[in-house]
Structure 1
Amino acid sequence: MLAIYKRELRSYFCSMTGYIFIAAVMIFTGIYFMVNNLVSGYPYFAYTLVNSLLIYIIVVPILTMRSLAEERHSKTDQLLLTSPASVTSIVLGKYLAMMTVFAIPLAVFCICPLIISTAGSAYLFGDYMSIFCVLAIGALFVSIGMFISSTTENQIISAVVTLVALLLLYMWDSLILLLPTSAIGNLVASFVLLAVLVLCVWLFSKNRIVTLAVAAVGIIGLVAAYCLEPTLFEGLVANLLAAFSVNTVLYNFCHYYVFDLGGIFMLLSVAAMFVFLTVQTIQKRRWS
């Protein structure tokens, strides 16, 4: 894994990808830092981090698009798939290399709260916790981009789909407001989510028995729950999806200075899930 990590990290700086990512993040965040904190005198660097979240949505697809799609396109992935290294170590090596590139500008941003403190009051603990929160969000974004890259051999498709996925996360709270609040509406939405789950089970297992079992248990469970207590479904899907809001976690850290341990656990858990799905995607290709 260490050899793959070094190789991938070196590749980001032998090309322009790493430099473009770091420069874009630092320039965009630097402008906000200058306007909000230096010119306006606002003492919270965390506020700048909230405003600069959009730049990560734009540049993370550039960082992740070539992680696996390029090797699949050039057929060099066959060398990795036939190597003694496990698929898990290959994926983790690539993932940690991308996270290292992601963390470089954040390491530089650690200076910003200290600069603010020289001009007066500063909230160092809250600002540094906010930087850590952005790193956790980055872990999620990068894992999503890497997973999408593993499903295609076209870098452009990988970048565009990743951008759309991250934009959906960015607009998550607004989209949740569009969901129905009635019990019957949430029952229908629950069936849609169940269909997505069944599709994922089929794609990764190709086992009809397991897929049908999941579908049957889900349908029976939803119908039984609705018949016994329909009020449980009022606002159910919206409340469920709200637990995965990236903006809520970021706002807890950056606006309210609350260390949202549950939110961090959610971000890292979903990131781990996408890393696992990436491993499974490549594993299937390895034995096919």
Structure 2
Amino acid sequence: MSTVAQFKSAAAMVDAAAVGNRLVALWPLHDHVRIDNDVKYAEDLQVRITRQIAQILSGERVTMPDAEYVYEGADEIPGRPQSIVEALLAANDAYDAAAAFSEDADASHLAESAQIIEACQGQKQDTLVDVLHEVTQQVEHVSTLPFDERAAWVGAVVAQLCALLTASNDIGTDADRNIAVVMLAAIECAELAGVPAVFAKLDQWKALSAQAVRGDVDAVATQFAQIAQAEWQKHYDDVLWDPEEAKKQAKEEDERKSREALAAKFAHIQDDPNKEAVEL
């Protein structure tokens, strides 16, 4: 059985594909609120990813406000170390460089991204380019397949990149920086195949990479599927988010809490059974 077939048949991947199919079925978007929501999702995705990459590059805790501030164009943040700003600027440059890969399938874009964050040094960078070149030769065929097969293909490619870029014998390199390249490559390979973005935290990528290095395809398929399903569900919820409905629900929730607080405040006061009823 091929790696793609193993991914496709994994129970977790079947569940993930169902969520992914529900997401892509929303397109084409016509409602302006959903279109705006999708744009916001894409912006938020870049902020989340560049924040993680900046933490890898700086070795410091980078907050979401830090990442949002730099994404919006800041080149310094009052009260925050400049090293964090520089790491975020580099992360955004790497993100932008990688984004061109899904437009023309030229692996040199991801190689440029790797150079910016000083990952995949030497032979590793050549290997990255070679693998991505092979991958792009299959994209035209892959893009015609059903969603579950396209998603399985992306998972198999990501597993291959994880194994290649984080192998235990890769002494003298920063493994986390290599994983950062996988984060970017995963999004771009998904875009090439017509699959929604896959996002995960660094610890999740490390776990997936460790399984990939061991060659445990079943474990990698399950891990990747769980990562994908969570992100596709988030994307779906974000696109369907209705600001007016959210405002209404928030108001109702506040009113409910106020009623409960008032009831609790006077819970110790009992009605006088002899009190004369008053007709209103």
Shorter-chain TM range is 0.3 to 0.5
Bigger Rg, structure 1 or 2: 2
